[in-house]
């Protein structure tokens, strides 16, 4: 249903088309990084330190003579890897919490939703920052911290949706023919919530990319020499006057990635839930 609408609308909706193409490009380049980059991301070359963009080094080189183009492409690998893993984890855990508490309600629901509210009350970035500070800065903990801050949003979304679906006749009918709770949740409720989850997960990848790069910028993300967009921008701070390309290229790719995921999420939402679009206008 989604795919059909997607292809159908792709030709009429330039935003949808453009954002999907951009994301495809970013994903492909990160997967094929070793094939399309001419250098090694941590290969230093003292002869070409801080050289401006040229034919050999499309995006110039940094203070160690490392190729910026190569590092930017590898940076997309890291960002996407972290963001997608974190969001995927958050969707699974948040989804389970949301379905259970929306379906059963009662005290289980009351307790979980209070915990989620507490998690949401604290700004995600600060929460992730404190978690990484306690656990120690590395990629695994970064994923853990980011996904933990995203879980409550998915749990609340799924819970609200399930709680409203649960009163609908088809669930009632399912119960009457003797379907188990598990069967109702998996085969009746989940397919109905799934499109909504997909939309929010897409937009959340943008949020997770921002979180990852922000923490890396603060030095709490990937540790050098791993190329990461946020980290590259921190390291470029000392060279703003002399070598602006060190900041501009990673920042530009970061921006394009975030905007693409946001736009794709928005377009998907319009397809999945046309009511929202009319409400927006």
Determine the Cα–Cα distance for residues 71 and 42; give it in Å rounded to an integer: 8
Determine the Cα–Cα distance for residues 230 and 213; give it in Å rounded to an integer: 4
From residue 119 to residue 148, the character string flagging contacts with other proteins as x (rule: CB under 8 A) and all else as - is --xxxxxx--xx--xxxx------------
Q: Nearer Cβ to other proteins, position 72 or 189?
A: 72
Residue range at the interface with other proteins (CB under 8 A); choices 49-57, 76-84, 106-114, 249-257: 249-257
For residue 209, the minimal CB distance to other proteins (Å) is: 9
Q: Is there a cis peptide before residue 230, judged by omega within 30 degrees of 0?
A: no
Residues 62-121 that bind other proteins (CB under 8 A): 121
Instruction: Render 22-77 in DSSP notation, one character per residue.
Output: HHHHHHHHHHTHHHH-SS-TT---GGGTTPPS-SSSTT-B-TT--BHHHHHHHHHH
Place of tokens 């500070």: 133
Q: Nearer Cβ to other proteins, position 95 or 102?
A: 102
Q: Nearer Cβ to other proteins, position 156 or 188?
A: 156
Q: Please say whether the dihedral angle defined by the alpha carbons of residues 160, 161, 162 and 167, taken in this order, is positive or negative.
A: positive
Return the structure tokens found at 251. Answer: 């920042």
Is there binding between residue 274 and other proteins (CB under 8 A)? Answer: no
Residue range at the interface with other proteins (CB under 8 A); choices 37-45, 47-55, 107-115, 243-251: 243-251
Is there binding between residue 214 and other proteins (CB under 8 A)? Answer: yes
3-state helix, strand, coil in the chain (%, to 5): 75, 0, 20
Pick the binder of other proteins from 87, 91, 148, 206 (CB under 8 A): 206
Return the structure tokens found at 14. Answer: 């330039």
Give the interface with other proteins as residue ranges (CB under 8 A): 121-126, 129-130, 133-136, 206, 210, 213-214, 217-220, 230, 233, 236-237, 240-241, 244, 247-248, 251, 254-255, 258-259, 262, 280-281
């Amino acid at each position: 249903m989604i795919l059909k609408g997607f292809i159908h609308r792709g030709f009429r909706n330039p935003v949808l088309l453009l954002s999907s193409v951009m994301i495809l490009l970013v994903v492909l380049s990160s997967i094929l990084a070793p094939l399309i980059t001419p250098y090694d991301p941590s290969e230093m070359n003292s002869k070409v330190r801080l050289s401006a963009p040229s034919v050999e080094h499309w995006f110039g080189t940094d203070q160690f003579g490392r190729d910026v183009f190569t590092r930017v492409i590898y940076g997309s690998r890291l960002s996407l890897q972290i963001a997608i893993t974190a969001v995927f984890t958050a969707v699974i855990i948040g989804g389970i919490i949301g379905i259970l508490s929306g379906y059963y309600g009662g005290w289980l629901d009351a307790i979980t939703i209070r915990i989620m509210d507490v998690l949401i009350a604290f700004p995600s970035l600060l929460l992730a920052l404190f978690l990484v500070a306690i656990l120690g800065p590395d990629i695994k903990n970064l994923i853990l911290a980011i996904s933990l801050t995203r879980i409550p949003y998915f749990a609340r979304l799924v819970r609200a949706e399930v709680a409203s679906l649960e009163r609908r006749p088809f669930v009632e009918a399912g119960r009457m023919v003797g379907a188990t709770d598990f069967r109702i949740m998996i085969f009746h409720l989940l397919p109905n919530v799934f499109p909504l989850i997909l939309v929010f997960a897409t937009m959340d990848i943008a949020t997770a990319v921002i979180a990852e790069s922000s923490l890396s910028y603060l030095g709490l993300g990937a540790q050098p020499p791993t190329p990461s967009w946020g980290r590259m921008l921190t390291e470029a701070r000392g060279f703003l006057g002399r070598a602006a390309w060190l900041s501009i290229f990673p920042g530009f790719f970061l921006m394009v990635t975030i905007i693409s995921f946001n736009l794709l999420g928005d377009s998907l939402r319009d397809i999945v839930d046309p009511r929202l679009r009319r409400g927006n206008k």
